[in-house]
Amino acid sequence: MRAVHGTARHYDWGDTTFIPDLLGLPADGRPWAEWWVGTHPSAPSTLDDGSPLAATTGSLPWLLKVLSAAQPLSMQTHPDAEAARRGFQTGVFSDPNPKPELLVALTSFSALCGVRPIDATVALLNDLDLGAVAKRIDSEGSVVSLVDDLYRGDFDPGVVIEACRGADRPEARWVVDLDTRYPGEPSVAVALLLNLVELAPGEAIRLDAGNLHAYLSGSGLELMGSSDNVVRGGLTSKPVDVDLLLSTVDLTPLAEPVLPIADRYELPAAGVALDRVRTALTVESPTVVFESAGRFTLVEPGDLAEMPAGGYAVVPLEA
């Protein structure tokens, strides 16, 4: 077995201590937002001898990350395979690959993940004295036109934001918090239409193409397609593309955003899964394992892999 060395990403929303503490590296005061492990050309991993991980595994269809958010991330979505290929050809995207995601919480983790079922949103809006908005969504059976109007400036997000002030619902409190960071943005109001997810360590969410989401706080292990294609709608200082967002997003309600705790979390759109490691591990092809102590290890066929419980191995779905 050989150690796999990843690459840090120091985005402004990152936590300053979680990732370096996990990896046994010195904290340096910078925000450590992500730790990338894989063969993506933006940050390819290496082995102990300095050789590329790809020299042993070939180009991997997935990317593994530790993510640690001290502040909310942008409101965003990701393209499917066809949209990614088309966008790459026209220079819209940086690579031709889709970016489905799976996140397993390593700490308590808060996120906005997919559109809340319509009945639940109508009830929430009525509870916040937003009866006119509730009636509109109820009659249309969808949030599509409201989201479109918010992002195109045809509906004042302040109507939603002001109704949340002083409300005791956690969804409303997050709207107020986001408004302090990004005053009056459409994405602040859109946040009220999404599932507010609170994960305990070991619980997971899967974000397929088009899922509108924003990670809010906490640390987790992410498995995704080998892509860095992100379409942002707001809550960020990075470029926002409303037209691209509205053409990419899937606003179909997501009734059960949290995956039941399991020994395997599948990411079908990338053809891989995260398997929970118990103790021993036997593999048929080179496999990257995230150990509970924070190490990333390459296990090859024939290796005697005795590992502490609590880690995860990236495996092809047919395994």
Task: Write out pLDDT tens, residues 45-86.
Answer: 999 999 999 999 999 999 999 999 999 999 999 999 999 999
User: CA nearest 72: which of 223, 184, 213?
Assistant: 213
Read off the tokens for 238. 């990075």
Task: Write out pLDDT tens, residues 104-158.
Answer: 999 999 999 999 999 999 999 999 999 999 999 999 999 999 999 999 999 999 9
- Return the exposure string of 137-158: e unless at least 16 CB atoms fall within 10 Å of the residue's CB, then b: bbeeebbbebbeebbeeebebe
Query: Is the pLDDT at 319 greater than 70, yes or no?
Result: no
Query: Is the pLDDT at 293 greater than 90, yes or no?
Result: no
Question: Cβ of 243: how many Cβ atoms within 10 Å?
Answer: 10
Residue 262 CA, distance from chain mean position: 19
Task: Write out pLDDT tens, residues 19-39.
Answer: 999 999 999 999 999 999 999
d(CA 62, CA 156) in angstroms, rounded, equals 40
Which residues make Cβ contacts (< 8 Å) with residue 247, sequence separation at least 6? none
Query: Is the pLDDT at 223 greater than 80, yes or no?
Result: yes
- Containing H/E element for 196? strand 194-199
| Position 242, amino acid | V
Read off the tokens for 159. 């109507």
Q: What is the pLDDT of residue 53?
A: 97
Residues marked as catalytic: 232
What distances in angstroms separate CA 132 from CA 125, 126, 139, 193, 232, one per listed residue?
9, 9, 11, 15, 28
| Position 142, amino acid | S
Q: Please compute the mean of the pLDDT values over residues 191-206 and round it to a whole number.
A: 97
Residue 110 CA, distance from chain mean position: 11
Q: What is the pLDDT of residue 278?
A: 79
Question: Cβ of 17: how many Cβ atoms within 10 Å?
Answer: 14
Which residues are bridge partners to 262 per DSSP? Answer: none
User: CA nearest 319: which of 295, 296, 287, 278?
Assistant: 287
User: CA nearest 17: which of 71, 73, 70?
Assistant: 70
Q: Which CATH architecture has domain 2-113+197-238+252-269?
A: Sandwich (2.60)
d(CA 39, CA 150) in angstroms, rounded, equals 38
Query: What's the predicted TM-score (pTM) here?
Result: 0.94
Q: What is the pLDDT of residue 284?
A: 82
Name the H helices within the chain: 18-23, 54-57, 81-89, 118-127, 131-140, 144-151, 157-164, 170-181, 186-190, 242-248
- The answer to whether 258 and 197 are in contact (CB under 8 A) is yes
Q: How confident is the model at residue 300 (pLDDT cuts 50, 70, 90)?
A: confident
Where in the chain are the domains?
2-113+197-238+252-269, 114-195, 278-316
Q: Please compute the mean of the pLDDT values over residues 243-258 and round it to a whole number.
A: 97
